[in-house]
Structure 1
Amino acid sequence: MTQPAPAPAPTPDGDPWWISNYRGTGYLERYGSHDGATTRRDVAFLAARLALQTDHTILDLCCAFARHTAELTRRGYTHTTGVDLSQDLLDHAAATAAADGERINLLHADVRGLPLDDGCADAVLLLFNSFGFLDTTDEDLGVLREAFRVLRPGGRMAMDHFTPHPDTTGMGTRTVRGDHAETTQQVTWDPATRRLNRHTTTAYDDGTTDTSHSSVRLYTPAELTELLHAAGFVVDEQFGGYDARPLTADSSRHLVTAHRP
């Protein structure tokens, strides 16, 4: 049986992992070279399923380096805004867009308390397993309630979440090569807390290294559906992936769309 990883150690400045992990370039080394074709596929699917219009106000919450924000903007959805708590990742997103001769809208904010008016958005995205970071289910529910608050009545939301599937919980140790570093992750599953824990070491080409820890709560499709209902959403569609495959008991990914009634 896979042994639980130690609880994430506190960072030197006392911040939780979901702040400290997204400072600097470590996250970019792990995921910054994400396949552009995959992002284009994701956006095409979401635009169709959410019936997005180019004049819609779209919020890409926990956007990281804003790959979905950028692709939506390229497709004419110019009222799209990427929202994230990491200023480093937002700065990278802005610089990347500028280098391509583009401009994207970005907002530095905490998803638990968005500085936005009630009902300001036509659509909200919460993608690439950017949910379940907080310590308790009640805190996670608070994120969904905030997403509900900023949606107009009839507004749509899409979430992409990994399920507690053996392909996810049994990853073990893996190594990823980025542009300037090699990252090794030890991934373990704690069945008691239902959390996926990662111990990450990034070795940069200049000889420096850094380590980090993370812990994400994985919800089953039934659990996530219950949370969405508790936040006020009506669930519309559920899939096992961006190819519209049916959601089954063997799905490692849960893609769900919902709306605010």
Structure 2
Amino acid sequence: MTSNNARNDQEPWWITNYRGHAPVQRYSHHNLAKTRRTIDFYIRHLGLEPDQTILDLCCAFGRHTRELTQRGYARAVGVDLSPDMLTHATSRDADAGQRPRFVRADVRALPFDNASADAALLLRSFGFLDTSKEDLGVLKEIARVLRPGAFLGMDHFPPNSATTKVGKRVLEGATATTTMHTSWDPATNRLNTHMSTRYKDGHVDSFPSSSRLYKPEELGELLAGAGFAVEGQFGGYDGSRLSEDSTRCVVIARRL
């Protein structure tokens, strides 16, 4: 039995792919140690303070929002467009302290006042839109809600032989197995993936995805065009130097 997960062909993949239970299976490999390491990095490099308003944009299950809240950052806000992701996020109470706050919103039109936030995170959720102009619009909207001098932390995959590797990958979840077939289009710098999640009862959900990978200098140009200055680029959350072979580009940018 196969399902398209209630997919509307008129809707983009970054809406249809985050419905239902399949995303829980696909991304269940993220563990608490990784989340804590990521938040440790941003607390240090963004200079986060407990009384600040911190936006965790495209937060999905809210794991970073939850970690911040548990550490006493009570004004952290998780923002995501997917009601299913937010339902999953809000169903998990914080282990201690205040319950995390989540808001359903499109990152292209954030429901916050100008210069009302002290910091923002945009982690592994950039390049999904069809054009660079649209991606620039996302960064401009983030700049709008950040106060001057506030920091944005980004985590993006730069294009190189490792990140554009094509082929098949299998992710084993608790109740399902996801098979991913990936291809690379050098003409558009887009990584295209077809994912199929098979549950133990034989039910299958299938999803396409496509994201543009920006070179670090290209990402820097977009950030500059949106009103940011790049303060640092790293090859990982261990603070390693960014190189041509780095499989991720962690960016610290300051709102001008």
Structure 1-normalised TM-score? 0.93
2:46 aligned partner, one-letter code: L
Count of residues in correspondence between the two structures: 251
SS at match of 1:22: coil
Q: Counterpart of 2:67 in 1: which secondary structure?
A: helix
1:140 aligned counterpart, secondary structure: helix
Match of 2:3 in 1: none
Pick from 157, 160, 181 the counterpart of residue 155 of structure 2. Answer: 160
Matches of 1:256 and 1:204, distance apart in 2: 37
| 2:140 corresponding residue in structure 1 | 145
- Asked if the contact 2:39–2:67 (Cα under 8 Å) also holds between the matched residues in 1, the reply is yes
Give per-residue Cα distances to partners, 1:162-189, cap 9 Å, x unaligned: 1112111114101101121100000111
State the Cα distance separating 1:102 from its structure 2 match: 5.6
The 1:245/1:199 distance shift into structure 2, 3 A limit, reads: same
2:100 equivalent in structure 1: 104
Q: Quote the offset at 1:97 in angstroms.
A: 2.2
3-state SS of the aligned residue for 1:96?
coil
Unaligned runs of 5+ in 2: 1-6
Note the residue ranges of structure 1 that are not aligned, 5 or more in a row.
Answer: 1-10
User: What CA distance in whole angstroms lies between the structure 1 residues aligned with 2:101 and 2:146?
Assistant: 18
Structure 2 CA distance for partners of 1:251 and 1:98, relative to 1, 3 Å: closer
Task: Give the structure 2 partner of residue 174 of structure 1.
Answer: 169
Whether contact under 8 Å (2:110, 2:141) holds in the other structure is yes
CA–CA distance in 1 between the matches of 2:214 and 2:94? 37
Q: Bigger shift: 28-37 or 150-159? A: 28-37
Q: Percent identity?
A: 55
Q: Deviations over 1:200-238 (max 9, x none)?
A: 100011221011100000000010000000001011111
Matched residues in 1 for 2:146 and 2:43: separation? 17
Secondary structure at 2:93 match in 1: helix
In 2, the alpha carbon distance for the partners of 1:65 and 1:53 equals: 23
Rounded to whole Å, the distance in 2 between the matches of 1:168 and 1:141 is 22
Listed as ranges, the matches of 1:72-151 within 5 Å are 72-97=68-93, 103-127=99-123, 129-151=124-146
User: Which residue among 156, 165, 179 is the counterpart of 1:184?
Assistant: 179
Seen in structure 2, the aligned counterparts of structure 1 residues 211 and 180 have a Cα distance that, compared at 3 Å, is: same
Aligned mates of 1:13, 1:90 — CA distance in 2: 23
Does structure 1 conserve the Cα–Cα contact (< 8 Å) formed by 2:70 and 2:94?
A: no
- How far 1:248 sits from its partner (Å)? 1.4
Partner of 2:230: 235
Give per-residue Cα distances to partners, 1:5-63, cap 9 Å, x unaligned: xxxxxx43521100000000111101124111010000001000000000000000000
| TM-score normalised according to structure 2 size | 0.95
Instruction: Trace 1:190-201 onto structure 2 (pairs within 5 A).
Output: 190-201=185-196
More moved, 162-171 vs 92-101: 92-101
1:149 is aligned with what amino acid? R
Q: Which amino acid aligns with 2:188?
A: T
Query: Contact between 2:158 and 2:249, CA under 8 Å: does it hold in 1?
Result: yes
Determine if the alignment matches structure 1 residue 30 to structure 2 residue 37: no
Match of 1:204 among 195, 199, 203: 199
Q: Aligned Cα RMSD in Å?
A: 1.5
The one-letter code sitting in structure 2 at the alignment partner of 1:169 is: T
Q: Does 1:247 align with 2:242?
A: yes
